[in-house]
Structure 1
Amino acid sequence: MIEELLQQEEGKTLEFKENSKSLDRIIHTIIAFANTAGGKVLIGVKDKTKKIVGLQDPVEEEMRLANAIADSIEPLFNPDIHVVSWRNKEFLLIQVPHSVGPYYAKSKGLKKGTYIRLGSTNRLADTAIIAELQRLGENECFDEMPSTGCSIQDLDLEAIKTCFKKVGKKFIESTAFSLHLYLKKQSKSAPSKGAILLFGKNRKEIFPNATIRCVRFSGTTKDEVLDHQDIDDYLPLALDKITSFVQRNTKLGAEIGPSIRKNIAEYPPVVVKEAVTNALIHTDYSAAGSQIQVAIFDDRIEITNPGALPFGLNMEDALQGVSQLRNRVIGRCFRELELIELWGSGLKRMISQCQKSGIAIPRFEELGHFFRVTLFNHREAVLVVRGWRKDLIDLIVKRKEVATKDAASFWKISDRAARVRLKKMVEEGLISEISTHAFDPQKKFVLK
C-alpha cells in the first residue's frame, strides 16, 4: 500500500502530510476529498519532497485526528484512519470516501467552509459549486430543474418531432414527460432547463454559454486564426455542425490498396464524434461565462467544456467506463435519438479507435473547473523494449521489485553502471523508483 502511494504524485485523490500539526489543513483536505471524489491522506511523508519521516506516536495522533474530525466537520463524517507500517516506520493513512454532502468546516459555516479538490489543491467552493453539491444531495441535476419563465411554447416542437422521426420514433407528450423534457408545475406542463438547452427557441438568450465556439488555428499555437464558427443550433443538430467544421478544417489522406484508393480522415470520425458528444452531454451549463470550445491545430484538436468530472467520479473510474451523468435530460434525449450507445463507453471507445487507427491515444485532463479531450494526429511513438531493458522488466515481473545490487548482479555489471541504466529506465517511464531519499540504501525499483 505505502509503496503504491509513494509512486504517485499528490493530486485529486492523494495528499501527503509530514505530521498532524496543521490540523486545519488536514480537515480542509478531508472535506475537499469527501465533496469531490474521495481520496487518501498519508501522514508521515513530507508533501514537497516525499521524504519519508514516519510518526513517533501514531496512536496518539490518530486519537487527536479522530476527535478533530468529529468536532470540526458538518454533517458528521467518519473516514477510516489506520496505523500502517513500512520499513520500520509508522504512518497514519486516512481513507476518505466520496459522500453526498455538502461537507464543510463547522467553525466557518456552509458558505465559507465548503471545500472541493482541484488538482492537488483545496479550493473554497463558490455559490454555484455549493448549489451543485446540494443538488447532488437531492439527487437532482441542473437540467432537470424547471426553466423559470418559460412555457412549452418556447420549445421548437417541429424540430423535436423531426429529430425523433429520423430514428423512426414518434414524439408524444408521454415521451416528453418520461425524458423530463416536460415537468408538472402547478398542474401545468412546463419545460425543464434541459428541454430549453436541447430545443429552446430562445436558448441563446437564456443560456448564452450554450454556444459552441469552433476555431481553426494556424500552426500549433493560438497566434493566428484561419477559420472560426460559433454554433448556436439545438444540441442534437449542433453535433453534426461541429463535426462538419472539424472535417473541413482537417486533412484527408489516402490508403492505397491492391485495387482501390481509400480516403482516410486525419482524425477517426467516430473519435471526433465521441469527444464532441461527451462535451455536449457533460458540460456544466450552470457555469456563467464559459463555453464549449473546439480548437483545431496542425497537430491536435482540443475539445474543452466547462465542468470537471462530476462529483464522485475520478479519472481512473471514468476511463474504466464508470458513468455519472451531469445532465440526465440531455443524456437521456441523446440516447433516445441514438446519438450515444452505452453509458460510460465513450472514453474507452475513443482510446480503442485511436489504437486501431495507429495514432496516439487521446489525452483526458481536468483543468480546474474544465474538462479537456486532446486528440492527436501523429502516429504513436513506440519505445521498443529489448536487450537489457527487457531482461530487467522480466525480472521485476517475477520479483515485483529489485534493488540496485540485484540489477547489477543480474546484468553482471558494476553497481555504478547499474545505477546509470536504472536512471535511464526511470526517465523513459519504464520503471519507478521507491526511496526515502536520493541515496537511500534500500531504494527499490518497480514497474510503472
Structure 2
Amino acid sequence: MKFTESGTVELKREFTKGIRKEIVAFANSMGGTIYIGVDDTGTVTGVDSPDDVMLSVINCARDNVRPDIMGFISCAVKDFDGKKVVEATIQKGPDRPYYLKDKGLTSNGVYIRNGSASNPASIYLIRKMISDSLGNYEDMLSVDQELTFKQMMEEFSKRNIDLSKVQMQSLGITNSDGMYTNLGLLVSDQCPHIIKGAVFRGTDCLDFQDRKEFSGSVFKQMNDAYSYLELNNHTAASFNGLYRHDQRSYPPVALREALINAVVHRDYSSLSVSTKVSIFADRIEILSYGGLPRDITLEMALSGVSACRNPKLANIFYRLKLIEMYGTGFSKMQAGYANRDTGSDIYNAHGFQPSFVAVEGIFKVLLPNLIYQGREQMVTEAPGTYRTTYIDNDVYTRVLDMFNTRRELTRLEVEKELGVSLSTATRILRKLKEQGRIMPMGRGKQTVYVRNPEK
C-alpha cells in the first residue's frame, strides 16, 4: 500500500501531542485517517508499542478536544510489511466547530483541513460552523470568549441575588466545559446587538430631532432605552377648580412592557437588524426582529398564549422579577391605556389603545400619545368603518404665521396654502378658534378669520 497525505489522510512517524490539531481539523472537515508509524514520504517505519500509541491518541482526543469527540474517533492496529501501524479514524463531527480546549474558539484553537494541511479557521468560518450547527441559538457557543459581566452583576446585586460560576452554568450562560454560550454573549458587556432610538418631528420619519444608539449588555440597553422613553414621556396638566390633574403622554406600564417584550423575544441570530424605538409626535413605535414564534398567531398572543423564542433569557428576566412568564405583557399594555393602572379618570378620555403589527420577521408595538394635540377624534366614514385624521402642531403654527402678511384669512386660503381638504381646513380653523387664537368675522361663505390680539 502506498501512503500519500491528502485532505483525508495525515501521516505521522510517531505519536506527539501535536496530533490533536489534526483530530480537530478532520472533525471540522470531511473526516479523515491518521496513520502513526508512516513518515512524510509514505515510508512505513512502524511503532514499537501500538497499544500504548492507541491509548495516547484516545487520551489526547479526550483531554484536548471540545466538544466531546470520543464517539467519533476509533483506533486500530494494521500490519504493513511486518511493521505495526496505528490507524486513527476521525469522523466528521455533528457539533462543529471542534476546538482545542486550551485555545478556545479562536483561530489558534479551531482548525480545518485544506488539502494535506491542517490550517487555522478564520473567524468567518467559525461563525458559519456555529450557525450551521443544530440547536437553539442561546445554547450555541459564543465566538467571543473574552466576556465580562459587570452590568449583569449590578442587576443581580440590586436584587440581592448571588451569581456564582455554578449558577451561571445552571442559567445557561456557560456550558458544562465552562465556555460562554450565545446567551452569555447577550448578557455580557460585549453584547454585539444594539437598540436604536430616534425622535422625529411630526408624525413621519422625514425629520429627525434626535437619535441614539444603546449598547452593552441587554440589561444596560434596556435601562438606557427606557430612560430615553421616559425623557420623552411628557406631562400635561389640567385643572378642575383648585385641583390639578397631571397626565402623561404614555402609561409607564405600557412603555415598560413593550420595551421588555422587544428585548426578551427578538431574534438575536442576525447582527444586521437592530431593535428600534421610534418616537413620533403622536405615537411611539417599538420594532423588534423575528416576528412571532412559530405556530403562534397574533390573536393567540393577545389572548395570553405565551411562547418564548429565548427561554433562557426569559428565565433570567423572570429571576430578576422583570417579567412574569405568564403571557401578561400585552394585557398590561392594554390595561395601562384602560386606566386600570392609574386610577385617573382623565388618563385616556378618547379610549385610545395600543396596536400590534405582526408580519413575517417583524413585530411592532404602536403606543398612541394621549396628550397629542394634533389628533382629531374618530369620525365616521361609513357604517362600521372609522378613520383617524392626524394634524401636526406645525400646521397650526403655519396658519398663525399667515397673519404676518395679511389681516384676515378665509377657509379657502387655508386650503390652498396648506394643500388640505375643505374638511381638514375647517377642523384646523375650528381648533384655533376654540383655543381663542383666532376670531371669526361674518357668517356663512362670507366668514373671515382674524388673529386674536390677546393670544
Distance in 2 (CA, whole Å) between partners of 1:424 and 1:217 is 32
Greater relative CO (CA pairs within 8 A, separation 6+): 1
Distance in 2 (CA, whole Å) between partners of 1:272 and 1:215 is 15
Equivalent residue number for residue 242 of structure 1: 225
- One-letter amino acid matched to 1:377: N
1:148 Cα offset (Å): 3.1
Equivalent residue for 2:260, pick from 270, 277, 302: 277
* SS of 1:338 mapped into structure 2: coil
- One-letter amino acid matched to 1:192: T
Q: Does structure 2 conserve the Cα–Cα contact (< 8 Å) formed by 1:144 and 1:328?
A: no
Q: Identity across aligned pairs (percent)?
A: 25
Equivalent residue for 1:254, pick from 221, 237, 255: 237
* SS of 1:191 mapped into structure 2: coil
- One-letter amino acid matched to 2:304: G
* SS of 2:330 mapped into structure 1: helix
Equivalent residue number for residue 323 of structure 1: 306
Equivalent residue for 2:277, pick from 255, 278, 294: 294
* SS of 1:228 mapped into structure 2: strand
Q: Does 1:178 align with 2:170?
A: yes
Q: Does 1:154 align with 2:147?
A: yes
* SS of 2:383 mapped into structure 1: helix
CA change 1:237–1:362 in 2 (3 A) is same
CA change 1:372–1:384 in 2 (3 A) is closer
Equivalent residue number for residue 347 of structure 1: 330
Quick check: 334-343 or 210-219, which moved more?
334-343
Gaps of 5+ in 2: 1-129, 340-346, 388-455
Equivalent residue number for residue 193 of structure 1: 182
* SS of 2:178 mapped into structure 1: strand
Equivalent residue for 1:306, pick from 289, 292, 295: 289
Q: Does structure 1 conserve the Cα–Cα contact (< 8 Å) formed by 2:238 and 2:244?
A: yes
1:383 Cα offset (Å): 7.6
1:193 Cα offset (Å): 0.4
* SS of 2:250 mapped into structure 1: coil
Q: Which has the larger radius of gyration?
A: 2
Distance in 2 (CA, whole Å) between partners of 1:196 and 1:384 is 50
Q: Does 1:232 align with 2:215?
A: yes
* SS of 1:281 mapped into structure 2: helix
* SS of 1:171 mapped into structure 2: coil
Distance in 2 (CA, whole Å) between partners of 1:133 and 1:316 is 33
- One-letter amino acid matched to 1:159: Q
Distance in 2 (CA, whole Å) between partners of 1:255 and 1:181 is 50
1:343 Cα offset (Å): 2.7
TM-score by length of 1: 0.50
Distance in 1 (CA, whole Å) between partners of 2:315 and 2:284 is 27
Equivalent residue number for residue 367 of structure 1: 359
Q: Please tell me the root mean square deviation across aligned C-alpha atoms, in Å.
A: 3.0
TM-score by length of 2: 0.50
Equivalent residue for 1:202, pick from 190, 193, 196: 190
Q: Deviations over 1:70-116 (max 9, x none)?
A: xxxxxxxxxxxxxxxxxxxxxxxxxxxxxxxxxxxxxxxxxxxxxxx
Q: Does structure 2 conserve the Cα–Cα contact (< 8 Å) formed by 1:155 and 1:196?
A: no
* SS of 2:175 mapped into structure 1: strand
Equivalent residue number for residue 58 of structure 2: none
Q: Does structure 1 conserve the Cα–Cα contact (< 8 Å) formed by 2:277 and 2:284?
A: yes
CA change 1:335–1:255 in 2 (3 A) is farther
Q: Does 1:376 align with 2:359?
A: no
Equivalent residue for 1:167, pick from 159, 169, 183: 159
Distance in 2 (CA, whole Å) between partners of 1:179 and 1:225 is 41
Q: Does structure 2 conserve the Cα–Cα contact (< 8 Å) formed by 1:144 and 1:193?
A: yes
* SS of 1:183 mapped into structure 2: coil
1:283 Cα offset (Å): 0.9
- One-letter amino acid matched to 1:189: G
Distance in 2 (CA, whole Å) between partners of 1:255 and 1:183 is 56
Equivalent residue number for residue 139 of structure 2: 144
- One-letter amino acid matched to 1:247: E
Q: How does 1:43-122 map to 2 (within 5 A)?
A: none
Distance in 2 (CA, whole Å) between partners of 1:220 and 1:246 is 17
Distance in 2 (CA, whole Å) between partners of 1:217 and 1:163 is 32
- One-letter amino acid matched to 2:315: R
Q: Does structure 2 conserve the Cα–Cα contact (< 8 Å) formed by 1:239 and 1:273?
A: no
Gaps of 5+ in 1: 1-130, 205-209, 386-422, 430-448
Distance in 2 (CA, whole Å) between partners of 1:291 and 1:174 is 32
CA change 1:141–1:257 in 2 (3 A) is farther
CA change 1:320–1:192 in 2 (3 A) is same
Equivalent residue number for residue 204 of structure 2: 221
Distance in 2 (CA, whole Å) between partners of 1:223 and 1:425 is 34
Equivalent residue number for residue 267 of structure 1: 250
Q: Does structure 2 conserve the Cα–Cα contact (< 8 Å) formed by 1:279 and 1:292?
A: yes
- One-letter amino acid matched to 1:146: L
Q: Does structure 2 conserve the Cα–Cα contact (< 8 Å) formed by 1:141 and 1:328?
A: no
* SS of 1:154 mapped into structure 2: coil
1:329 Cα offset (Å): 2.1
Q: Deviations over 1:427-448 (max 9, x none)?
A: 459xxxxxxxxxxxxxxxxxxx
Q: Does structure 2 conserve the Cα–Cα contact (< 8 Å) formed by 1:176 and 1:182?
A: yes
1:377 Cα offset (Å): 1.3
